[in-house]
Amino acid sequence: MLSGNEIRRLIGEGKLSIEPLDDEIIRENGVDLRIGSEVAVLLNNPEPVDPERLGEIRVEDYYKVFKAEHFVLQPYMKVLVTTLEYIKMPVDVAALVAVRSTFARLGVSIPPTIIDAGFEGEVTIEIHGGAFPVVLRRGMRFAHVAFYRVEGEPVPYRGKYQGQRGVTLPR
């Protein structure tokens, strides 16, 4: 796991880019990510989704996408949010995203999310509500990213979400 000082060094050398960068988001052993302005609520659609046939359905029918300065995460609601930060990862560093402990203590969770080595873009993250409503605001630090060196020959990310901006629905 990379220390905050090592993260600062990588940023200073131009190997890792985080924009916009605020020094307060660089922590002891990672970086806090902030909520961006776009949200997608996962809707209860009774039609099954076959992940191998996403190109054959209107994925938009399963989400309500909107921009918001703040919104209320209702109990047990699932949403996708985009990060305020646009990240360019080095080819030899990957990252694991977790919810910040303040939000975990409020019952909010996120599934394990990986940022691959070589990925570039805003990060789309799923958030799950807990037992009571919680207000989420644009610019709020809600997730923590821990960075790790990739051992062996790096295989940089070249997937379909490269360069994404805003909430990116499944492709």
Q: Which of 122, 126, 151, 153 is catalytic?
A: 126
**Cα dist. 91→84, 125, 153 in Å?**
22, 21, 10
Q: Can 153 be counted among the known catalytic residues?
A: no
Residues 6+ apart with CB under 8 A from 44: none
| Cα–Cα dist 17/106, whole Å | 31
**Cα dist. 153→6, 141, 160 in Å?**
21, 33, 22
Contact 109, 142 (CB under 8 A): no
Active site residues: 126
